[in-house]
């Protein structure tokens, strides 16, 4: 059958099975017909799958193996696994804006996970006082949620503040059935919600917080779906599907849909999808008073849960298409034309160069054929230019010769360096020639003020010949120094007396 490319696939059916498989079926809109085609099958879970939910391109599945598997529907790959629960996960649900994923488990906890980084934002460990949590239903606004558990209490959660708002005990009304409620559904407007247990459905009003309508049936209710605020679709254990008007409690549609119990129901626009425990999936077109079957398929496994998602093109296919387009564009840019140039008057013009730039345009350089007269005139024009170039070359040669001659003479810096080196050599020779013992003049002036014992303690510089250092002992040196000091002191005393 020919698929119209202008009519995209309206949605995709995702099914979880008792045999641990997650299956996908694309619904193709063909000219005046619909076709169901299998799109994928995964075996990510180790135990039966209990709940499936989707929002945007996120898909989450959870089951008895205590894990939540998350998939990216654009790339058709499993992105991450979450293992924060310690028992069977009974329900997974996305918020309407797709910001968070909520999960509830038989271990008595409810968790809130942020979508994208998949971090655990909130974890109520004892949401129902430690008893198992059966179902978690989020309000269309994403600000409220309802949950039921084996404690028989209906709890309302404030998702903005992240805490419980209030609790309603269902045991006085439902008695022992209050512990096994697994069906809670919000109306599209959020003004009503319903609870289903056994063969009864209880419709509550949000304003009055009380039961607005009670419905009873002949068979056990397995699944319920709000089609409109005043119309619901119900799947029963005997395989029937019924439509019920909530304003009048009248059954507008009653059809035998499946041979076994209707396990799941979901809808999109005017299409309804039903799944049976036998593995049969059926696509219906409905209105308030009629239900027509369009297509059926059997997955060959026991279906436990179902959801509908919008179809997204594979990112891998999109990238491949883009790469192919880029290659085609590059190939076009690199392609160069081979063209012939036709010249009418060969005597007047001559083609010198033909080149193709990257842009693909043709560039032609041409010039006129020269005659002898043209050559003579061009040479006359170039004569003054040649004279100027010759004169410049001569000047450059003269300047280079003068620079070389000037560089031969010693500069002032060179002269100063030579003079300093000669002085340093003289000083070194004088220092080496010193052979007598002398004392510094500055220290000799201080000795007059000091006593003899203090003089012996201080050290003075003594200059000796290099050859005499080994022969002279320190005692002899001290004696000589003391003798010289005495001579100096006597001379000063004489001057003072005179």
For 250-270, write each residue's pLDDT tens digit. Answer: 999 999 999 999 999 999 989
Q: Which of 46-55, 410-419, 431-440 has the lowest mean pLDDT?
A: 431-440
CB 279 within 8 A of CB 299: yes
Q: Are residues 165 and 300 in the same domain?
A: yes
What is the per-residue pLDDT for 108? 94
Q: Is the pLDDT of residue 119 over 80?
A: yes
Mean pLDDT calculated for residue range 105-114: 96
Question: Tokens for 51?
Answer: 């709940």
Angle at 435 between CA 433 and CA 436, to 5 degrees: 140
DSSP state of 269: T
What is the per-residue pLDDT for 312? 72
Q: Which of 48-57, 124-133, 159-168, 358-367 has the lowest mean pLDDT?
A: 358-367
The DSSP bridge partners found for residue 303 are: 17
Q: Which of 78-87, 343-352, 403-412, 472-481 has the lowest mean pLDDT?
A: 343-352
Percent of all residues in the chain with a pLDDT value above 70, rounded to a whole number: 71
**Domain for residue 337, yes or no?**
no
- Model confidence at 277, pLDDT cuts 50, 70, 90, reads very high
The DSSP bridge partners found for residue 205 are: 192, 210
Q: Are residues 306 and 443 in the same domain?
A: no
User: Which of 318, 338, 360 is at the close of a domain?
Assistant: 318
**Domain for residue 225, yes or no?**
yes
Phi-psi sector, 279: left (phi>0), alpha (psi -120 to 50), beta:
left
Question: Tokens for 423?
Answer: 């002085």
- Model confidence at 81, pLDDT cuts 50, 70, 90, reads very high
CB 367 within 8 A of CB 350: yes
Q: Is the pLDDT of residue 394 over 70?
A: yes
**Domain for residue 47, yes or no?**
yes
* Nearest-angstrom CA–CA distance, 148 and 185: 12
Q: Is the pLDDT of residue 235 over 60?
A: yes
pLDDT in tens, 31-51: 778 899 999 999 999 999 999
pTM score above 0.85: no
406 vs 253 pLDDT, higher one = 253
Q: Are residues 313 and 439 in the same domain?
A: no
Residues 6+ apart with CB under 8 A from 489: 448
What is the per-residue pLDDT for 374? 67
Residues 6+ apart with CB under 8 A from 101: 53, 58, 60, 68, 70, 92, 93, 94, 95, 112, 113, 115
CB 312 within 8 A of CB 299: no
User: Which of 302, 318, 334 is at the close of a domain?
Assistant: 318
CATH code of 50's domain: 2.130.10.10
What is the per-residue pLDDT for 313? 64
Q: Is the pLDDT of residue 153 over 90?
A: yes
121 vs 436 pLDDT, higher one = 121
Q: Which of 55-59, 230-234, 313-317 has the lowest mean pLDDT?
A: 313-317
What is the per-residue pLDDT for 468? 43
Q: Are residues 169 and 310 in the same domain?
A: yes
* Nearest-angstrom CA–CA distance, 187 and 381: 97
Dihedral, 197, 201, 202, 206 alpha carbons, nearest 10:
110
- Model confidence at 353, pLDDT cuts 50, 70, 90, reads very low
Q: Is the pLDDT of residue 342 over 60?
A: no
Q: Are residues 174 and 33 in the same domain?
A: yes
59-88 CB burial, b ≥16 within 10 A, e <16: bbbbbbbbbbbbbebeebeeeeebebbeeb
Q: Are residues 437 and 305 in the same domain?
A: no
Which range marks the domain in which residue 289 is found?
Answer: 11-318
Phi-psi sector, 464: left (phi>0), alpha (psi -120 to 50), beta:
beta
* Nearest-angstrom CA–CA distance, 303 and 91: 15
What is the per-residue pLDDT for 65? 95
Mean pLDDT calculated for residue range 457-486: 60
CB 12 within 8 A of CB 308: yes
Mean pLDDT calculated for residue range 14-39: 91
Q: Are residues 438 and 312 in the same domain?
A: no
**Domain for residue 408, yes or no?**
no
* Nearest-angstrom CA–CA distance, 122 and 237: 37
What is the per-residue pLDDT for 491? 81
pLDDT in tens, 164-221: 999 999 999 999 999 999 999 999 999 999 999 999 999 999 988 889 999 999 999 9
Q: Which of 56-65, 102-111, 225-234, 317-326 has the lowest mean pLDDT?
A: 317-326
What is the per-residue pLDDT for 332? 53
441 vs 76 pLDDT, higher one = 76
Mean pLDDT calculated for residue range 396-414: 60
Q: Is the pLDDT of residue 83 over 90?
A: yes
Q: Where are the alpha helices (DSSP H) in 335-411?
A: 372-408
Domain total in the chain = 2
Give whichever of 6-15, 353-362, 425-434 has the largest mean pLDDT: 6-15
Q: Calculate the average pLDDT of the chain.
A: 79
User: Which of 303, 318, 333 is at the close of a domain?
Assistant: 318
- Rounded CA Rg of the chain: 53
């Amino acid at each position: 059958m020919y698929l119209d490319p202008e009519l995209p696939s309206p949605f995709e059916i995702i099914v979880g099975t008792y045999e641990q498989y997650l299956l996908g079926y694309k619904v193709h809109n063909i000219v005046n017909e619909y076709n169901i085609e299998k799109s994928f099958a995964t075996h990510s879970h180790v135990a039966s799958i209990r709940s499936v939910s989707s929002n945007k391109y996120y898909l989450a599945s959870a089951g008895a193996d205590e894990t939540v598997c998350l998939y990216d529907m654009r790339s058709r790959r499993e992105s991450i696994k979450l293992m924060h629960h310690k028992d069977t996960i009974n329900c997974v649900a996305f918020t309407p804006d797709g910001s968070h994923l909520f999960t509830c488990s038989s271990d008595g906890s409810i968790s809130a996970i942020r979508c994208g980084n998949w971090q655990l934002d909130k974890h109520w460990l004892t949401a129902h006082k430690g008893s198992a949590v059966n179902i978690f239903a989020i309000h269309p606004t994403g600000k409220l949620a309802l949950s039921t558990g084996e404690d028989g209490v209906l709890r309302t959660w404030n998702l903005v503040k992240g805490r419980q708002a209030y609790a309603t005990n269902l045991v006085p009304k439902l008695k022992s059935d209050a512990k096994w409620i697994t069906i809670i559904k919000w109306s599209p407007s959020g003004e009503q919600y319903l609870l289903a247990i056994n063969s009864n459905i209880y419709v509550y009003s949000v304003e009055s917080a009380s039961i607005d309508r009670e419905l009873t049936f002949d068979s056990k209710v397995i699944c319920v779906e709000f089609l409109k605020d005043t119309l619901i679709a119900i799947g029963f254990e005997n395989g029937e599907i019924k439509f019920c008007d909530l304003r009048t409690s009248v059954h507008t549609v009653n059809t035998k849909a499946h041979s076994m119990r209707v396990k799941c129901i979901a809808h999109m626009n005017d299409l309804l999808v039903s799944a049976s425990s036998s593995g049969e999936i059926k696509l219906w077109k409905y209105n308030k008073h009629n239900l027509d079957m369009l297509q059926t398929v059997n997955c060959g496994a026991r279906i436990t849960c179902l959801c509908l998602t919008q179809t997204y093109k594979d990112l891998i296919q999109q990238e491949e298409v883009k790469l192919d387009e880029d290659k085609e564009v590059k190939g076009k840019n690199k392609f160069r034309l081979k063209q012939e140039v036709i010249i009418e008057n060969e005597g007047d013009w001559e083609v010198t160069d033909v080149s193709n730039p990257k842009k693909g345009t043709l560039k032609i350089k041409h010039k006129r054929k020269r005659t002898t007269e043209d050559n003579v005139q061009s040479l006359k024009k170039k004569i003054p230019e040649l004279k100027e170039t010759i004169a410049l070359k001569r000047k450059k040669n003269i300047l280079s010769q003068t620079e070389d001659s000037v560089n031969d003479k010693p500069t002032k810096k060179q002269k100063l360096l030579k003079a300093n080196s000669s002085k340093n050599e003289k000083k070194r020779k004088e220092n080496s020639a010193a052979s007598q013992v002398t004392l510094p003049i500055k220290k000799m002036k201080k000795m007059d003020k000091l006593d003899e014992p203090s003089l012996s303690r201080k050290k003075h510089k003594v200059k000796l010949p290099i050859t005499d250092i080994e022969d002279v002992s320190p005692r002899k040196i001290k004696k000589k120094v003391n003798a010289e000091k005495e001579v100096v002191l006597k001379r000063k005393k004489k001057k003072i007396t005179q």
